[in-house]
Amino acid sequence: MVKLVVTFLGTSAAAPTAKRGLPAVAVKREGEVILMDCGEGVQKRVLSESLGLGSDMTILITHLHGDHVTGLLGLLQTMSLAQRRKPLNVVGPAKLLKWLEVTAELLHIGLTFPIRFSTAKPGLVLRTGGFRIRAARAAHSVEAFSYLVEELGRPGIFYPEKAKSLGVPEGKLWSRLQKGKSIMLGGKRIEPLEVTGPRRLGRKIGYSGDTRPSAKLARFFSDCDLLIFDSTFRDSDREKAVERRHSTSLEAAKLAKKAKVRRLVLTHFSARYTSVSSLVREARSVFPSTIAASDGLSIEVAYPV
């Protein structure tokens, strides 16, 4: 089984606190990293979590508010100082590329690697070695996107007895069939489905970024194995959430229930709350499988049953 681990690098909203940095979440699968948002100071967290400055990395930026993007330049500079050579995938609103180009020039950041920029748009935006990345428009005060990180599907369960009955010798040919690849044997093509069960689904991670809840996002995040959702305010502060285009913990839970996700993680907490236990209680009253993110928290995501 391939491990897929989600690590929270920053979980505060707008301003850092003594215990919470600005928004950033890492998804790691084998040697590949998907980094969602880059709050100030993210480079230190990338180092402390050993995510690898030279790893196969894709960075997803939800929107151009400082708490979600100002750490990106520092991370790029540190990667260059470490002599990174691999191309870096960056996905975000169209204006992100202009901001990167202008600020990198003004600050004399000479990159040692190419950036492959993809403009965020509704639908499929990028396919990496292990994932498909989809985007949907979020409902925030500026152009913003939510992301769905979908692990590519796995071949079905391999049945050795079926391979033996077809005369397939154990070894490399079995390995090819187990990986979902067809083989030729004695002039005859043997397809993977002749010796395996149906393909199995990969894991799905949803990330809202800053947003109001919506029916569109509930559909977008349908059946996620892990949903990470904006929970800036508790329900008693709902007027502030509406005014500032964020969500409450209760609204996040209602959306998670509607989307039939397996697990909900609340994040992006307002600095006004010294404890987020009340936000978790509110959410669990609607969606029991809810936890609060904290800086450094890592969650291993299991395969869907």
Specify whether 165 is located in the same domain as 150: no
Q: Given 175, 194, 213, which residue is the final one in a domain? A: 194
Specify whether 180 is located in the same domain as 231: no
Cut 0.85: pTM above it: yes
- Does residue 18 lie in a domain region? yes
- Does residue 305 lie in a domain region? no
Specify whether 11 is located in the same domain as 91: yes
- Does residue 282 lie in a domain region? yes
Specify whether 183 is located in the same domain as 221: no
In sequence order, the 6+-apart residues with CB closer than 8 A to the CB of 187 are none
Q: Is the pLDDT of residue 254 over 80?
A: yes
- Does residue 296 lie in a domain region? yes
- Does residue 41 lie in a domain region? yes
What is the per-residue pLDDT across 16-64, written as a single tens digit (0 to 9) for each?
999 999 999 999 999 999 999 999 999 999 999 999 999 999 999 999 9
CA 63 to the chain's CA centroid? 15
- Does residue 235 lie in a domain region? yes
Specify whether 150 is located in the same domain as 177: no
What is the per-residue pLDDT across 213-237, written as a single tens digit (0 to 9) for each?
999 999 999 999 999 999 999 999 9
Specify whether 140 is located in the same domain as 280: yes
Specify whether 218 is located in the same domain as 277: yes
What's the average model confidence in pLDDT over 90-103? 96
Kindly report the CATH number assigned to the domain that includes residue 263: 3.60.15.10
Residues recorded for the chain: 305
Specify whether 50 is located in the same domain as 172: no
- Does residue 55 lie in a domain region? yes
Active site residues: 67
Specify whether 78 is located in the same domain as 166: no
pLDDT above 70: percentage of residues in the chain: 100
Specify whether 217 is located in the same domain as 167: no
Owning domain of residue 136: 4-154+200-300
Total of domains in the chain? 2
Specify whether 46 is located in the same domain as 175: no
179 pLDDT band, cuts 50/70/90, is: confident
Specify whether 146 is located in the same domain as 269: yes
**What's the confidence (pLDDT) of residue 5?**
98
